[in-house]
Amino acid sequence: MKCDSAIASLIENFPTSASLKEADTGRYIVNNLHNSLQFGIKNPKDLLGLTIQDIRFNQPDWGAQYAKSIERLDLSAREKKSHVIGRHQFLDACGEAQVEEMVKFPVLGTRKNILGIVTYRHDITRTLPPINVYLLNRKFYNTASSIERTLTYFKVRQYFITPLTDAQVRVFLLRSERLSTKEISRFLRISDRTVECHCAALRNKVIDGNLPYVLSLMKESVSCDQDLTQS
């Protein structure tokens, strides 16, 4: 299809990831810098003419599944001839795990024929509870790397003097959501005493044993994120 200059300008200047594809081939016609950078492509023009299947992902097996999910969403927008919304787990070119919310809608011609598919995308990871950020990382990385990435994400990694275990980080993240010992034990299906043992271990792994301080930093981080997503 021939891209209208107004549509091209809107996509190129959109504040988040945005693109326009050919309806029949799925090839990119227009996209912006936000869209190309998430795939590790610095110049948006280098993405033109490619399809989602042509993109090289950090984890090829996941990338193949992701590409298929995007094609299914494109097909849904074509068949319904209206906007569709999808949420996917995403691993960007820098290795950061995200949850994205994607909106697609068809560009219709004068005869109601579909000329192309417009997509815009938001990273909604900041809306997730802390424990879900950890579980998201676990989809892509091993336990040790996921713990490191999650604590770094919430800017509290430097307060721990020794690495946490899987069970300890889960208790820590749930505690940061102000859950009681009883609530954490039910969530993790462990005893109250085990929760308290993990809390004691956490205190021994925090600088000066000041676990309440680190938890307060987590709460501030989560509160700020919620304020940003609601503004």
Read off φ and ψ for residue 139, nearest 5 degrees.
Answer: -65, -25
Spatial CA neighbour of 114 closest among 24, 11, 18: 24
Check whether 226 has a pLDDT greater than 70: no
Structure confidence by residue, pLDDT tens digits, 4-27:
778 889 999 999 999 999 999 999
DSSP of the chain: -PPPHHHHHHHHT-SSEEEEEETTT--EEEE-HHHHHHTT-SSGGGGTT--GGGPPPSSHHHHHHHHHHHHHHHHHHHHHTS-EEEEEEEE-TTS-EEEEEEEEEEEE-TTS-EEEEEEEEEE-GGGS-HHHHHHHHHTTS-HHHHHHHHHHHTT-GGGBSSPPPHHHHHHHHHHHTT--HHHHHHHHT--HHHHHHHHHHHHHHBGGG-HHHHHHHHHHHHHHHHHHHH-
- Name the percent of the chain lying above pLDDT 70: 95
The class that CATH gives domain 130-230 is mainly alpha
Structure tokens at 226: 């919620």
Residues 6+ apart with CB under 8 A from 140: 59, 62, 89, 91, 97, 146
Instruction: Express each pLDDT in 109-142 by its tens digit.
Output: 878 889 899 999 999 999 999 999 999 999 999 9
pLDDT for residue 1: 56
Residue 35 has pLDDT above 90, yes or no: yes
Any bridge partners for residue 120, and if so which?
A: 18, 103
| Residue 96 pLDDT greater than 60, yes or no | yes
User: How many alpha carbons lie under 13 Å from residue 4 in its C-beta half-sphere?
Assistant: 9
- What pLDDT score does 73 carry? 97
The confidence score (pLDDT) of residue 221 equals 74
Residue 231 has a pLDDT of: 47
Looking at residue 229, what is its pLDDT?
Answer: 52
Q: What is the pLDDT of residue 222?
A: 72
Rounded mean pLDDT, 25-50: 95
CB count within 10 Å of CB 92 equals: 16
The domain 5-123 is placed in CATH, from the list 3.90.1150.10, 3.30.450.20, 3.30.230.70, 3.30.310.50, at 3.30.450.20
> pLDDT for 49-70, tens place per residue?
999 999 999 999 999 999 999 9
pLDDT at residue 85 in the model: 98
Q: Which residues contact 123 (CB under 8 A, 6 or more apart)?
A: 16, 90, 98, 99, 100
Q: Do domains 5-123 and 130-230 have the same CATH topology?
A: no
Average pLDDT over residues 71-83: 94
Residue-range domain boundaries for the chain: 5-123, 130-230
Per-residue pLDDT of 166-191, as tens digits, reads: 999 999 999 999 999 999 999 999 99
Rounded to two decimals, what is the model's pTM? Answer: 0.89
Tell me the per-residue pLDDT of 205-224, one tens digit each, with 9 for 90 and over: 999 999 999 999 998 877 65
Residues 6+ apart with CB under 8 A from 85: 101, 102, 103, 104
Q: Which residues are paired to 122 by β-bridges?
A: 101
Q: Which residues contact 66 (CB under 8 A, 6 or more apart)?
A: 52, 57, 88, 89, 90
